[in-house]
Amino acid sequence: MSVAVKKDFEQPKDFKFSKENMVKVELHIAKYPKGRQASAVMALLTLAQEQHDGWIPEAAMEEIARILDMPRVKVFEVATFYTMYNLSPKGKHHIQFCTTTPCWLAGSAEVVRACEKHLGIHLGETTPDGEFHLSDVECLGACVNAPVFQHNGDDFYEDLTPENVVKVLDDMKAGKARPGSQTGRVTSMSIKGATTLHDQAKKAGVKENS
Ligand code: FES
């Protein structure tokens, strides 16, 4: 899903990387052969987003095009293709729900509905206080702990239910939410606890040394 550039907010006139981030910019560019500096475009977009409160203004894309000596439209193409880049403000907490098949089968639709009801907004909207923005994205690669959401592009909240997700949102606002499984599961171990092939064989009636 591409991200449309919205116009109902102010775009800053200028963007410059901080001194600290300019050091990182140079390091990223140095990873590629001379003349191939455009390959650093994704890393620079990520840096710009981190520096600018979680979204990339048009001025930042222009600055990146200038630094990498590439057409502005090429930077725009990359930034609008990936859902990990935000081209408009997404609130203090950007919640990206995975709604792809494994998460959907595990109940993501109910989890999304519970969040929408709790916050009084729909997917694609931001709460009036600017605290939360809800989005849906494709598979986040954590299907074994479905349903999941990603917070501010970094942390995963997993094993969500319509009940525990509401508590997660409240805890997040209070600054005490903890990423990972919300049912106490250790990483992605079996829901029914640890098992071994030996146990499974025993259950299946396989005799020892057979
Ligand atoms: S389907 Fe949701 S993480 Fe893969």
- DSSP run (H or E) holding 135: strand 132-137
Question: How many A from CA of 106 to the centre of ligand 1?
Answer: 10
Task: Convert the pLDDT of each residue in 46-96 to its tens digit.
Answer: 999 999 999 999 999 999 999 999 999 999 999 999 988 999 999 999 999
For the chain, report the end-to-end CA distance as a whole number of angstroms.
Answer: 53
Quote the CA–CA distance of 113 and 18 in Å, as a whole number. Answer: 40
CA of 45 to the centre of ligand 1 (A): 25
For residue 155, the CA-to-ligand 1 centroid distance in Å is 14
Q: Indicate which atom in ligand 1 lies nearest the CA of residue 101.
A: 1
Ligand 1 pocket list (CB less than 6 A):
98, 100, 102-103, 139-143, 146, 148
Tell me the residue type at 162: P
Give all domains of the chain, ordered by start, each with its CATH number: 19-81 (1.10.10), 93-181 (3.40.30.10)
Q: Please state, in angstroms and as integers, the Cα–Cα distance from residue 130 to each residue in 46, 85, 92, 99, 134, following that order.
A: 22, 18, 6, 23, 11
User: What is residue 4's predicted lDDT score, i.e. its pLDDT?
Assistant: 46
